[in-house]
Amino acid sequence: TAAVDLSCVWHNLEYMACTWHPGENASSDTNYTLFYWFDGLKSHKKCSNYSMHQGISGCIFNLSFPKVTSTYPPISILIRDDSEEIRPVCANKNPTTLVKPATPRQVTLSKIDDGIRMEWTESDTFPENCLVYEVEYHNGYLDTAHVIKVIFQFTQLTDFFSPVENNNLSIPGIDSNSKYVFKVRAKPKPECYSSELYSDWSEEKSIGEKTDSTFYFVLIITIPLIVAVATIILLVYLKRLKIIILPPVPDPREMLKRMFGEQNEDSQVSKKL
């Protein structure tokens, strides 16, 4: 009857969201209640923001600490029901392993002399230099994506190493006139948190123009067709022009036959008269 598969995520150091499945032998009208406590609270607190989605129960509660805090106390989670027939379940969570940053916002792209510059807004709930970023981009013509990891104050690619600030990135050596699609996500730095959770990818942003392949396809089909029609029209026109300039010479044999035929007809008519 106890809740199972308890999972919690600490979103952007602001609130914790926990989910669980009902116990296999729990009745359908079981109302699980979540309580939490950590060192510093005078008494346990009851979570009040519940949800249910596809048979999975969940609850969200505010959880934040001062930015200057170097260590975080373990969080104790208790899930139970008022009925004695429902077995309670208790778990201790290390919050630093549950950290998930917010999605980077206000992503902008701009052209620079030798490439493209990308910028985004950092989360204001994390201590300074406690996030690393991963940028993914691909050319509008290709499906293959390139991944850049922005670590500390540098961005490292396979073939170059150049300084950048934490929340922006300059990518040289790419054609700024072609279309490129970019997105970025954040991850807690291991020196600050033990979490392996990435934020969600930001909304994709594009820069440059991608030539429409449909235009080329239509062009490839249209040009030969136009050439063929023009050739036929030209041949017909030249044939008529040839007839006008160089009319056909009458066949002498036909002319003789016609002359003798007319004479024979005249002789036959005179005999009858």
The verdict on 155 and 233 lying in the same domain is no
The verdict on 134 and 203 lying in the same domain is yes
pLDDT value, residue 197: 93
Burial of 134 (0-12, 13-18, 19+ CB in 10 A): middle
Number of domains in the chain: 3
Name the strand (E) or helix (H) holding 121: strand 115-121
The verdict on 9 and 95 lying in the same domain is yes
Average pLDDT, the chain: 77
Domain holding 149, by residue range, is 105-207
pLDDT, one tens digit per residue, over 33-42 is 999 999 888 8
pLDDT value, residue 13: 92
51 in helix, strand or coil? strand
- Of 109-113, 187-191, 200-204, the poorest mean pLDDT is in 109-113
The verdict on 109 and 198 lying in the same domain is yes
The verdict on 241 and 216 lying in the same domain is yes
- Of 50-54, 139-143, 154-158, the poorest mean pLDDT is in 154-158
pLDDT category, 262, cuts 50, 70, 90?
low
Position 154 pLDDT exceeds 80: no
Considering the domain boundaries, does residue 187 fall inside one?
Answer: yes
DSSP 97: G
pTM equals 0.67
pLDDT category, 162, cuts 50, 70, 90?
very low
The verdict on 230 and 203 lying in the same domain is no
CB 147 within 8 A of CB 135: yes
Quick one: what percent of the chain has pLDDT higher than 90? 22
The verdict on 232 and 159 lying in the same domain is no
Position 93 pLDDT exceeds 70: yes
Domain CATH number, residue 14: 2.60.40.10
The residues, any chain, with a CB within 8 Å of residue 103's CB and separated by 6 or more, are 185, 186, 199, 200, 201, 202
The verdict on 90 and 124 lying in the same domain is no
Q: Write down the residue that tokens 């050319």 correspond to.
A: 139
pLDDT category, 272, cuts 50, 70, 90?
low
Considering the domain boundaries, does residue 146 fall inside one?
Answer: yes
